[in-house]
Amino acid sequence: MTIIDIKTLFEYNHWAKARLLEALDAMKEEDLYKDLKSSFPSIYATLLHIVSAENIWRQRLTGTESPKPLTKEDVPTYSALKVKWNQTEEALTAFVARLSEKQLLDVLTFKNMKGEAVSQLLWQSLQHLVNHDTYHRGQITTMIRQLGGTPVNTDLIGFYRQKK
- pLDDT confidence of 65, banded at 50, 70, 90? confident
The answer to which of 13-17, 65-69, 82-86 has the lowest mean pLDDT is: 65-69
Query: Per-residue pLDDT averaged across 59-76, rounded?
Result: 94
Backbone angles phi and psi of 108, in degrees to 5:
-95, 120
The pLDDT tens digits for 20-29 are 999 999 999 9
- Name the strand (E) or helix (H) holding 4: helix 3-25
C-alpha 26/C-alpha 42 separation (Å) is 16
CATH architecture of the domain with residue range 3-156: Up-down Bundle (1.20)
Instruction: Give 62-71's long-range contacts (Cβ < 8 A, gap of 24+).
Output: 62/91, 62/95, 65/111, 66/111, 69/113
